[in-house]
Each structure stands twice: as C-alpha cells, then as structure tokens.
Amino acid sequence: MNQEQMDFVKNGKGFIAALDQSGGSTPKALALYGVSEDQYSSEEEMYDLIHEMRTRVMTAPSFNSDSIIGAILFEQTMDRKVEGHYTPDYLWQKKGVAPFLKVDKGLADEENGVQLMKPMPNLDDLLKRANERNIFGTKMRSVIKEANAEGIKKVVEQQFEVGKQILAAGLVPILEPEVDINSTDKEQSEKILKEEMLKHLDSLDEDQNVMIKITIPTENNYFKELIEHPRVVRVVALSGGYKRDDANEKLAANNGLIASFSRALSEGVSANQTDEEFNATLENSIKSIYEASIT
C-alpha cells in the first residue's frame, strides 16, 4: 500500500471520479457522450471509443488533485495507456490522483430484494495485476432494491468477505452496497444497511481499513457513524441516477460525505465539442461536484 496515497485519499479535499463503465454500461455512456451504437461495429471498437472519452476527461486541465483525490478505472483502462503511461501511473504521476480499480463482474439476479455480486473466481489474479499496475484500491458494487433484512445482510456479508480478500492483497477496498434511489422503502433499507455495516466494521482489526460507497441517504447525515468510524478511510456517494444539480444539492446536505460520480460527472460533455468547449463543460462539472463535496 502506498502510504502517500493513503494520506491523500484520507485527508485530501475533493471527490472520486468514477470512470469505470464496464461492458454492460459502456454503450449507454457512449450514447450520452454523443456516440451511437451504429458508430462502432465490434466490442473492440466500442472499448477504443470509451477509452478515447476517458482519456479526454483525464487529460483535461481541470482534472487534477486540486479537486479530485481518486479515479475508479475499468479493468481494460488499467491496462491501457494515456500519453504513453499506463493509466494508473498517469493518474498518480502526472495528475496526483490515486487510482482505483473496479473488480466486480456484475450483478447476480435479484433475490430477497437485492442483487449480490456475481462470483469472482479469478479475483486473486486480478489483484496481483492491480498491484503490478500500481493501483491503490478497488471498488465492487451490489444493489439493494427492497428493505429485506435477509437480503441486505447477505449483501453486507459478501462485501466484507471480498473486502478482506482485497485487504490481504495490500489494496484498499471500496465497499459499495448501493440502495436503489427508486426503492419505495429506501429509508428503511438504509436503516437495516447501516446496522449491518456498523456490525461488520466493529469486527475489523485495527489494520483493516476500508472505504464505503453509498447512496446519498434520505435523511441528511444519516451515515454520520460510518463516516466517523475508525476503520473507515472515507465514505463516498454515488449519484445513483440523480441529475448532477440534484445530486450535488443532496450531497452538500451531508457533512463529510464526498462524491464518487460517474454520469453526473460527464453530464453535458460531448464527442462533438471542441477541446475548448469540452474542457469548459468538464471544468464546470468538476467545480460544482467539488464544492458539494467540501461543504
């Protein structure tokens, strides 16, 4: 583990950029960027185009450690280069931004009101490669759709079980038990989730420190105990489908919670913009998310 990165992620001012769209979400991300599916004819071309988009974001002048403390990457992005450097090295050496890696393989079918993560049989090999590529931490996502105590318990158990495997590899896991913003019993789900999260956090050893990525709570500052827990490096929030202005407003009402936005970060940027237009749009986005994160 890179101690300089740990200190920066724990104490730095700013937010984490989520640039980890995977195979299933890449077509939608490209469409929002102005690249339709008829503009590529293979998965390889699709990934080339999304890397061009991510490169444009990461090389923008405003994308730096003044506002951004970390960036979450897709596995392919980790192995690709930006301006002649492997992406994780470019982020840290050129931008001062700590690199994270999405490690989950997607969601299983819904059961007991939740979607667990699919099995990750090759996780140890991926973590080894992540270390070789100088990755600081990882991220993995589950989804909670209903306030089902049994389902939420299984989500948290799985997140911590895999999180300990990641810690053993010397990386810092971001545990992401997302609560669907459209859930009719979202607030009750958050209550069950917080109780389960605190129970597992209390059982960690002093050298087992994790991060948490979570949906912005219905009740402001509801996750205060998670943010202040001694085993938690940082708690970050996903935009969850909210438009950027809405997400920023909700985020700003929660002290100590910082953003880890994907769609909200790239909202408004387009493949058809000039570099000047693109950079100005992204700068405004980064500025607004940064301000909401440090409020």
CA dist., res. 259 & res. 239, Å (int): 8
Characterize the bridge pairing of strands 137-144 and 114-115: antiparallel
**pLDDT classification of 241: cutoffs 50, 70, 90:** confident
Q: Is the pLDDT of residue 73 over 70?
A: yes
Q: 69, 98 in Cβ contact below 8 A?
A: yes
29 compared with 252, residue with greater pLDDT: 252
Q: Quote the DSSP letter at residue 38.
A: G
Q: Quote the DSSP letter at residue 107.
A: B
Q: Is the pLDDT of residue 285 over 70?
A: yes
Q: What is the pLDDT of residue 233?
A: 98
Give residues with Cβ within 8 angstroms of 120, minimum separation 6: 103, 104, 105, 126, 162
Q: 176, 178, 190, 196: which is the annotated catalytic residue?
A: 176
Helix, strand or coil, per DSSP, at residue 26: helix
Radius of gyration of the chain (CA): 18
Express each pLDDT in 87-105 by its tens digit.
999 999 999 999 999 999 9
**pLDDT classification of 214: cutoffs 50, 70, 90:** very high
Closest to 244 (Cα-Cα) out of 225, 265, 214, 269: 265
Q: What is the pLDDT of residue 120?
A: 94
Q: 153, 186, 213, 250: which is the annotated catalytic residue?
A: 213
Q: 167, 208 in Cβ contact below 8 A?
A: yes
- The label of the residue with tokens 């917080």 reads 194
CA distances from 244 to 42, 59, 123, 165, 232 (A): 31, 22, 33, 34, 26
Q: Is the pLDDT of residue 224 over 80?
A: yes
Q: What is the pLDDT of residue 31?
A: 87
> Model's pTM, two decimal places?
0.93
- Quote the crossing angle between the two packed helices 186-202 and 149-168, to the nearest 10°: 40
- Quote the crossing angle between the two packed helices 149-168 and 123-132, to the nearest 10°: 50
Report phi then psi at 93, rounded to 5.
Answer: -75, -35
264 compared with 280, residue with greater pLDDT: 280
Helix, strand or coil, per DSSP, at residue 136: coil
Q: What is the pLDDT of residue 36?
A: 87
What's the mean pLDDT when you consider all of the chain? Answer: 94
Express each pLDDT in 117-153 by its tens digit.
999 999 999 999 999 999 999 999 999 999 999 999 9
- Average pLDDT on 155-172 reads 98
Q: Is 178 one of the catalytic residues? A: no
Q: What is the pLDDT of residue 276?
A: 95
* Residues of the chain above pLDDT 90, percent: 82
- Quote the crossing angle between the two packed helices 244-252 and 275-294, to the nearest 10°: 20
Q: Which amino acid is at 170?
A: G
β-strand partners of 214 = 237
Q: Is 110 one of the catalytic residues? A: no
Report the range of poorest mean pLDDT among 19-28, 33-42, 254-263.
19-28
Q: 287, 62 in Cβ contact below 8 A?
A: yes
- Average pLDDT on 1-12 reads 93
Q: What's the maximum distance between 2 C-alpha atoms anywhere in the chain?
A: 52
Q: Which fold has domain 3-293?
A: TIM Barrel (3.20.20)
Q: Is the pLDDT of residue 23 over 90?
A: no
> Quick one: CA dihedral 239, 19, 127, 96, positive or negative?
negative
